A and B are shown apart, each in its own frame.
Chain A
Amino acid sequence: MDAFLNLAHGFATALSPQGLLFTFVGVTVGTLIGVLPGLGPSATLGLLLPLTFGMNPTFAIAMLAGIYYGAEYGGSTTSILLNLPGEAGSVVTCLDGHLMAQKGRAGAALGMAAFASFIAGTVGLVLFTFMAQPLARWSLSFGPPEYAMLMLLGLTAAASLSRDKLKGMIMCALGLLLRTIGTDAVSGTARFTFGSPNLLGGLSFIPVIMGLFAIGEILAELAQGEGETPGAVRVTSSYRLRDLLPTLEDWCHSIWAIIRGTLIGFFMGTLPGSGAAVASFLSYSAEKAVGRRRNQLGTGIIEGVAAPESANNAVTAGAMIPLFSFGIPGTPTTAILAGALMMYGLQPGPRLFTEHPDFMWAVIATMYIGNVMLLVLNLPLIGLWVQLLRVPLHLLAPIVLTVTVIGAYSVNNNLFDVWVLLLFGLIGYLAKTYRYPVAPLVLGLIIGEKLEQSVRRSLLMSLGDPRIFVSSPISLTLFSLALLAIALNAGGAVRRYLAARGAATAS
Chain B
Amino acid sequence: MNKQRVIEGSIVTALGLTTVGLSRGYTYMDRYTPGPGLFPLWLGVLLTVFGAIVLLTGLASPGERPKAATLRPGDLVPLAVLALLVAGMELLGALVSIAVFNMILVRLLGRRTSWPAAAVVGIGVSIGCYLIFERLLGVPLPKGLLGI
The residues of A with any CB-CB pair to B shorter than 8 Å are: 36, 39, 47, 166, 169-170, 173-174, 176-177, 180, 184, 186-187, 189, 191-192, 215, 218-220, 222-223, 226-227, 392-395, 397-399, 401-403, 405-406, 409-410, 413, 415, 418-419, 422, 425-426, 429-430, 433-435, 452, 455-456, 459-460, 463-464, 497, 500-501, 504-505
| Chain B positions 36-65 with a Cβ under 8 Å from a chain A Cβ | 36, 38-40, 43-44, 46-47, 50-51, 53-54, 57, 60-63
Which single member of A39, A180, A413, A460 contacts B39 (CB below 8 Å)? A180
0 or 1 for each of B81-123: is its CB under 8 Å from A? (1 = yes) = 0110110011000100010011001100111110000000100
Assess the B141–A409 pair: CB atoms within 8 A: yes
Query: Using Cβ atoms and an 8 Å threshold, which residues of chain B touch A452?
Result: 39
Closest to B54 in A: A166
Contact, CB under 8 Å: B43 / A180 = yes
Partner of A402, one of B62, B102, B113: B102
Chain B's nearest CB lies how many Å from the CB of A174? 7
Distance to closest chain B CB from A441 (angstroms): 12
Q: Is residue B147 within 8 Å, beta carbon to beta carbon, of the partner chain? A: no
Interchain CB contact (< 8 A) of B86 among A169, A186, A394, A422: A422
Q: Residue B34 contacts which of A192, A402, A460 (CB distance < 8 angstroms)? A: A460
A73→B69 CA distance, assembly (Å):
36
By beta carbon, the residue of chain A nearest B51 is A170
Collect the chain A residues with CB atoms within 8 Å of residue B34's CB.
455-456, 459-460, 464
Q: CA–CA, A47 to B140, complex, Å?
A: 13
Q: Are A415 and B110 in contact (CB under 8 A)?
A: no
- Report the Cα distance A134→B9, complex, angstroms: 49
CB-defined contacts of A504 to chain B, threshold 8 Å: 61-63
Who on chain B is nearest to A191 by CB?
B36
Is B76 interfacial (CB-CB < 8 Å)? yes
A501 to B22, CA, bound (A): 37
- Smallest Cβ-Cβ distance to B75: which chain A residue: A223
Point out the residues of chain A lying under 8 angstroms from B138, CB to CB.
47
Chain B residues in contact with chain A, CB under 8 A?
Answer: 4, 8, 12, 15, 19, 22, 26-27, 29, 32-36, 38-40, 43-44, 46-47, 50-51, 53-54, 57, 60-63, 69-72, 75-76, 78-79, 82-83, 85-86, 89-90, 94, 98, 101-102, 105-106, 109-113, 121, 125, 129, 133, 137-142
Tell me how far the C-beta of B91 lies from the nearest C-beta in chain A, rounded to whole angstroms: 11
Least Cβ distance of A267 to chain B in Å?
A: 27
Contact between A170 and B94 (Cβ–Cβ < 8 Å)?
no
Q: Which residues of the other chain, A, contact B61 by a CB distance below 8 angstroms? A: 500-501, 504
Contacts of A410 in B (CB 8 A): 133, 137, 139
Contact across chains for B36 and A187 when beta carbons are under 8 A apart: yes
Chain B residues with Cβ below 8 Å from A413 are 139-140
Most chain A CB atoms below 10 A, which of B44, B71, B76, B79? B79
Closest B residue to A178 by beta carbon equals B43
List the 4 closest A-B pairs by CB distance, nearest first.
Answer: A394-B110, A394-B109, A504-B62, A223-B75
For B40, what are the chain A residues with a Cβ–Cβ distance below 8 Å?
A: 177, 180, 191-192
A170 touches B47 (CB 8 A): yes
A434 B8 Cβ-Cβ under 8 A: yes
Known: A187-B35, A191-B36, A406-B139. A394 touches B83 (CB 8 A): no
A394:B113 contact, CB within 8 angstroms? yes
Contacts of A218 in B (CB 8 A): 78
A500 to B43, alpha carbons, bound, how many Å? 29
Contact status A169-B72, CB under 8 Å: no
Q: Identify the interface centre among A430, A434, A464: most chain B CB within 10 Å of its CB.
A: A434
Taken together as a complex, chains A and B put the C-alpha atoms of A430 and B123 apart, in Å, by: 32
Q: How far is the CA of A500 from the CA of B58 in the complex (A)?
A: 12
Q: Specify the chain B residue showing the minimal Cβ separation from A501.
A: B62
**Known pairs A170-B51, A403-B129, A434-B69. 17 more at Cβ < 8 A?**
A170-B47, A176-B39, A184-B26, A189-B26, A219-B76, A222-B109, A394-B110, A395-B121, A399-B125, A402-B98, A402-B101, A406-B129, A413-B139, A422-B82, A501-B61, A504-B61, A505-B62
Q: Which residues of B contact A220 (CB under 8 A)?
A: 75
Q: Is the CB of B76 within 8 A of A426?
A: yes
Residues in A whose Cβ lies below 8 Å from that of B50: 166, 169-170, 173
A191: contacting residue among B26, B62, B101, B110, CB under 8 A? B26
Interchain CB contact under 8 A, A173 and B75: no
State whether B54 touches A430 (Cβ < 8 A).
no
Complex Cα–Cα for A188 and B78 (A):
39
Do the beta carbons of B22 and A192 come within 8 Å of each other? yes
Which residue of A has the minimal Cβ distance to B80?
A422
Residues of chain B within 8 A of A405, CB atoms compared:
82, 85-86, 98
Q: When the two chains form their complex, are residues B27 and A189 in contact, meaning their CB atoms are under 8 A apart? A: yes
A425 and B79 form a contact (CB under 8 A): yes
A433 touches B110 (CB 8 A): no
Q: How far is the CA of A419 from the CA of B86 in the complex (A)?
A: 8
- Which residues of A sit under 8 angstroms from B39, Cβ to Cβ? 176, 180, 452, 455-456
A402 in contact with B125 (CB, 8 Å):
yes
Most buried by A among B62, B109, B121: B109
**Measured between C-beta atoms, what is the minimum distance from A434 to chain B in Å?**
5
Q: Is the CB of B71 within 8 A of A222?
A: no
Chain A residue at smallest Cβ distance from B4? A434
Once the chains are docked, how many angstroms separate the CA of A500 from the CA of B64?
A: 11
In contact, A460 and B69 (Cβ under 8 angstroms): no
Rounded to whole angstroms, the CA-CA distance of A308 and B125 in the bound complex is 33
Residues of B within 8 A of A192 (CB): 22, 40
Cα of A456 to Cα of B33 in the assembled complex, Å: 8
